A and B are shown apart, each in its own frame.
Chain A
């Protein structure tokens, strides 16, 4: 034994094994490890154990009954949650319908102004008005495609659950949807003539979003059958 200390304790070896490499090793311990093969071997075994532990698989697929058990536990909570949202959703639906109605008035006003401007410009620059249907800019056409997909999916869900809704609710929803469709169509038509009009873009997209929100709220009101 050439070291000035006897053997390192197991706690000291663990401390060494856990120390980041950037932390300098206590000089006396380092000298001892250089001289004492027994402690060096213990430290190596400790490091090997830690390395093995870190190599253990971090994931084990749970048995299928785990999710089944969780799902069964969540079911009553989910029902309670849906019930608590019922009243909120009804008010939300009414608010969404009101928003659609209000925004449709706004779109009418802006679209009419845009139409007037476009007509004036067209009249000034083109003696013969082109009547062929114009297209939306690519980014708006792409956005519309996305909106249309969401609308179709929600519409499908709502149609499936329609029977569980009160007739008056269905009528409110359908009336609001018709208003939203009219506002969208109007904004779309105006945009085709004036595609760079930021206000029209905003009205066009926000009406789609309101329509989707209205559909979503309506589907939430209708329980799954």
Chain B
């Protein structure tokens, strides 16, 4: 029983492992307006932020816009960064907020019922990352299926099951009630299991 119930730890990357200590000096320089220092922070964290943006949007053009928005907001908000959370978590929060702001301003409410060609490219890009070759096929299927989820369900699944954030952390990021998040997450899992088994 414990094997199927066991939890896998959230993603742990080089940027995060080396992040807090190495980032401090760069953050301080960037706060003083040093764009070169900010570029180094960008180089350290952009791959994780971009992966999240791709998964949250399910669309490479939107992901590019969102990621750009994230780093510009981060630049402006650097004076408020206290280092209590890791830089990655802080950037992820900004990404989720930016995503929510965009969605509020987006009058289009069309649900995604089919995968477009670019979704397949996105899925391939996402799956290609660090997965061993034998897993790439499965990963592509899963990425495509994630991209096809309704936005709320996709966000809940990506933040909880892919990124490893807790319900409480996601509730704090999104401002949604825990019950709503659970419902979205469960719906996402149900849809994914159905999509992957068909």
Q: Which residues of A contact B (CB under 8 A)?
A: 10-11, 14, 16-17, 19-21, 25, 30, 33, 43-47, 49-63, 65-67, 69-71, 73-74, 77-78, 81-82, 85
**A49 and B192 contacting across the interface, CB-CB below 8 Å:** yes
Residue of B nearest to A52 (CB): B142
Q: Which of B21-29, B32-40, B93-101, B168-176 contacts A (4 or more CB under 8 A)?
A: B32-40
Once A14-B186, A54-B162, A63-B64 are accepted as A-B contacts, the answer to whether A70 and B72 lie under 8 Å apart by CB is yes
A43 in contact with B4 given A58-B11, A66-B67, A67-B42 (CB within 8 Å): yes
Do residues B7 and A60 form an inter-chain contact, with CB atoms below 8 A? no
Give me 10 A-to-B residue pairs in the complex whose CB atoms sit less than 8 angstroms apart, sorted by A's number.
A10-B190, A11-B182, A49-B192, A49-B193, A55-B135, A56-B129, A58-B163, A62-B47, A67-B46, A70-B72
A69: chain B residues within 8 A (beta carbon)? 64, 68
Known: A30-B1, A78-B33. A61 touches B50 (CB 8 A): yes
Cα A21 to Cα B138 in complex, Å, equals: 27
Q: Are A58 and B51 in contact (CB under 8 A)?
A: yes
CA distance A66 to B61 in the complex (A): 11
In the complex, the answer to whether A62 meets B126 with C-beta atoms within 8 Å is no
CA distance A74 to B164 in the complex (A): 32
Assess the A53–B186 pair: CB atoms within 8 A: no
Report whether B72 and A74 are in contact in the complex, using a CB–CB cutoff of 8 Å.
yes
Query: CA of A204 to CA of B87 in the docked complex: distance in angstroms?
Result: 38
Q: Is A56 within 8 A of B139, CB to CB? A: yes
Interface centre among B7, B10, B50, B64 (most CB of A within 10 A): B7
Residue contact B38 to A74, C-beta cutoff 8 Å: yes
Q: If A54-B164, A59-B47, A78-B35 touch, does A21 touch B5 (CB 8 Å cutoff)?
A: yes
Q: State in angstroms the CA–CA spacing of A43 and B142 once bound together.
A: 18
Task: Find out whether the CB atom of A74 lies under 8 angstroms from the CB atom of B162.
Answer: no
Q: Is the CB of A53 within 8 A of B47?
A: no
B6 at the interface (CB under 8 A from A): yes
Distance, CA A70 to CA B64, complexed state (A): 10
A44–B4 contact, CB under 8 A?
yes
Are B11 and A17 in contact, CB atoms less than 8 angstroms apart? no
Q: With A and B bound together, what is the CA distance between A16 and B10 in angstroms?
A: 18
B130 at the A interface (CB under 8 A): yes
Nearest CB of chain B from residue A21's CB, rounded to whole Å:
5
Query: In the complex the two chains form, is B190's CB within 8 Å of A60's CB?
Result: no
Distance between B25 CB and nearest chain A CB, rounded to angstroms:
15
The listed residue (A59, A67, A81) touching B129 by CB distance below 8 A is A59
Bound state CA distance, A43 and B6, in angstroms?
12
Once the chains bind, are A20 and B51 in contact (CB under 8 Å)? Answer: no
CA of A3 to CA of B186, assembled, Å = 24
| B47 and A46 form a contact (CB under 8 A) | no
Q: Besides A19-B5, A50-B8, 13 other CB < 8 A contacts? A: A46-B189, A52-B139, A53-B157, A56-B127, A58-B11, A58-B130, A59-B13, A59-B15, A62-B49, A63-B64, A66-B50, A71-B35, A81-B33
Q: Which residues of chain A are within 8 angstroms of B13 by Cβ–Cβ distance?
A: 58-59
Q: Is the CB of A56 within 8 A of B125?
A: no
Q: Which of B1, B9, B143 contacts A56 (CB 8 A)?
A: B143
How many Å lie between the Cα of A48 and that of B72 in the bound state?
Answer: 37
Q: Which residue of A lies closest to B43 (CB)?
A: A67
B35: chain A residues within 8 A (beta carbon): 71, 74, 78
Measured between beta carbons, the chain B residues less than 8 angstroms from A25 are 1, 5
Considering the complex, give the chain B residue whose CB is closest to the CB of A43.
Answer: B4
Q: Within the complex, what minimum Cβ distance (angstroms) separates B80 from chain A?
A: 16
